[in-house]
Structure 1
């Protein structure tokens, strides 16, 4: 009998516990644990609906506050909406409580919960764009070793380490910090070592560069032997980094002229078809065949013998008819007829601007884009080096002005971008300056940096496009003008409109006591939307939107930072 009573009593206890357990499960879905908070907002003991309302109200003033990122002495503000950050309120409440069979969650209803981070709804594309914009102002491109041959003598460029922002890591830190801490987010930076160090550069000078220009290369043409002097091939020669080692490279285009000139006594140069421009129209200038040495073949043959001596320093070549790469028939088939877009920008007088912009303009002038072909500024203009005809001038680097080779070339890119914009060409890649420069059209400008930032646009038409570019140089009393025109067959009339500026960012102040310092006035940062409208027959047929993000530019004072009182 006593055993039976014991079993009955045990069954009653189990039933009570089961009922309590089920009741606990139900209660976990009706209110959150006591002393629970989400992103610092108290939601303890509330029903899920009430907790959502409380969280929405509690974060109302905080969700629009900018996230502050720091790099060295600079502060950079990141607008949450610009970075694609939003709070998923229902998911945040659910993560802090909710129906559960876990006894610990049931006990927490009375004993108390804990602090929870919010659950975020992140637009990864916007966050990546915001991070990339900041990285542009912080990254310092690595400078690889290089040897060029001005005046037919080796000139070495020493390698220099760069740094770059690990963008995925930085994006994760921004996500983790938003609404969870008042501390600034430090911009992470990783050092990037050049592929070849100074010792490797010295070895290349000794083993490649010096032998390469030690004497002429013998050209065996039929029964004759002609010396190709160092001065003929040196402008086309460079020693560059490839796959982690330094190798000689001969540019066939730069080699073409001496191979068909009186330097070698062989033949005459083939002339490609081209265009001249009259009254807004493009007229084909016929091509001409030549006689000489094929530069592509010669470039390949020269490289392996440049480090040889004696009889081995020679190559056997054939002089033959050389057809132009771009014939009259090719030019006529492109259907290039008329001006389809143009743009002009002005610049204050500076000798370096006259030199650098004229050199870059010369290189893009006459470039032809066949249907579907993409223009790359860096590929066409090449690296801005002294050997390529560029001089030192001011560029934006790391968010401040610095003096580097090629300063002012971004104005050529900006003008070309706008000419392509109004010609209706496809925008493949462009990068506004880190901060706004008021001589450029706001939101419609493009900076470039060889090896990292390019300007690229594509010809979307069934006909070709040819670029005309030139500089009206400045003088001490007049401004200079950079001009770019596009010729093809007109399909659209393109117009531009813009939003008001928004998301303003205020500049700070930084001090620089290095010799590289350039004093700088502060510039307010902002965002702006640019709309490109395409018209046919007076009717708008499509619209494209692009947003430019400008960081604030700090006031830069040359000198040491004053000590605090």
Structure 2
């Protein structure tokens, strides 16, 4: 069968009006034997309203495309969530699902230089500022951008869709404000104020300034950046919230009567001079308040005889014997309540009186608490003599039953080894539990072997009070001498020590060094291991014993003079 050639197309025709939703106009050729007047009813234009007239034509175009392509055109246009042809910042997103589009946009933006390159802002049309996007938190909101391109219901998208851009308004304001100040475009204006010259109030009336509107600047920057355009930010007048009338009202109603006469507060008066120093007008709007610190400072001479400072009970060694220093309950004026009540009566010309209330603060350690600790006798004392003067002396330390004394906490991590050795010996003889200690690495002849300690950064000396009573640690320093005395109640009558033999003895190496001011003779010391037992005695009997063990390294013997091994 011979197929006749297709009819020659005549001039195209299209719908008579543009679509209101900007969808592309569907054009098709006039085909012989197929005139618009012969359209089926379903394709015939409907004349009820302009909007309804356009839809059948569009539908006709879609149906014709579907007939000619076997429905492939509709399938092509409807694939994915993002309409075909859609681009954001040059990134092709058409035909992708929302998840795919978001992932692609994030990936492409991750390496985009535009997101980190400085962009231009014009301030007041005169000043050009380069702004770092990172510094102001400028970023593309990917989820919001994808939502904007998938919510239109179109089959074919707009070619370039602007992204949804976010920015940190506060940071942007700070950057632009600083630039405007440098360019002398921004002026701070004059804030309203009321001050005192002596007891006479002085008014400072407000004047408007010129500055950056944070919200307007953010809108201008995000929109211009998305268009790859220069952001144009205007400066606006910044009028203070406080007006001249407000200042005059505060003067007449408060500032002037406030210092006209003193205010009675029970046992004392608050003078106009103290009121003038304490009454502060600040902020915008301008608000009055009483500065509590200034009020207390102004009343200090008066309060000295009315207030008492809280003090904990403690122990002090007075005349060579422990004495309890009694606790004191603190009594202070409630400055907050006084300030509040004072501000309320300052506008008055009569009945200028308030009630000053006192608050009491009980000591953490009372006299009864210390007396119950049973610090009544000397437990042990020990004295060491150092090679040079010592200066570290912890204040007398009170250790409660079951608590642990730390040399680092009492004297710092840089406490001398001499202090550590002295405290250790006193605690050892008092029968207290040694929680943490470390002897010297090499033997020191002036200290008992094994039963000694050093301390320093990273190495503490800790002693627990397991006596059942309190312990007071008293440290006395005089020149090169340190004496540590522990006071409390004895748990044992006496402490004895027994030593085991020295084993694994190693002789010191001999080192010869060139004589001179930098060479000092050292006798050296042997290295050895040894055990020692602390024996606790109660009522003439052994009540227990504790083993201490240590291994010393040998210390070389240094000879200043020629000999084998001397350095040259």
- TM-score normalised by length of structure 1: 0.38
Structure of greater Rg: 2
